[in-house]
Amino acid sequence: MELRFTPEALAQLAARRTWWQANRADAVGAFDEELDEALAAISARGASLPVAVRRGGREVRRVLLPRVRCHVYFEVVESADTLVVVAAWGAQMRRLPPLAKVKA
């Protein structure tokens, strides 16, 4: 399956990466390492990862970046053979992120 990102997700990931690099000098590369691992997991077994929310016919899944405490939210679009990252959000947040709409 092809892996794509919404513009909103790309902006959220960039903001989180910038914050991490500015505030975690002892582990600057941790964000990119964990993101790479998460994206590999999404690509390899996205449809089997946990569902975070079902809303309006959408099934949004998520994977955790444990050291950087960030969830990456994505949708599996079977009809387009695509996985779409729709958000990146702090795992400590007590609410869901705004979930970008997926254009199939």
Whether residue 102 is contained in a domain is answered as no
Q: What is the reported pLDDT for 99?
A: 79
Q: What is the reported pLDDT for 28?
A: 85
Per the structure, the complete domain to which residue 16 belongs is given by 2-90
| pLDDT 10s digits, 72-96 | 999 999 888 899 999 999 888 777 7
| Cα 75 from Cα 81, distance rounded (Å) | 11
CATH, residue 56? 3.30.2310.20
What is the domain count for the chain? 1
Structure-model confidence comparison of residues 95 and 12, the more confident one = 12
| pLDDT 10s digits, 21-76 | 999 989 889 999 999 999 999 999 999 999 999 988 889 999 999 999 999 999 99
Whether residue 71 is contained in a domain is answered as yes
Whether residue 98 is contained in a domain is answered as no
Checking if the pLDDT of 12 tops 70, the result is yes
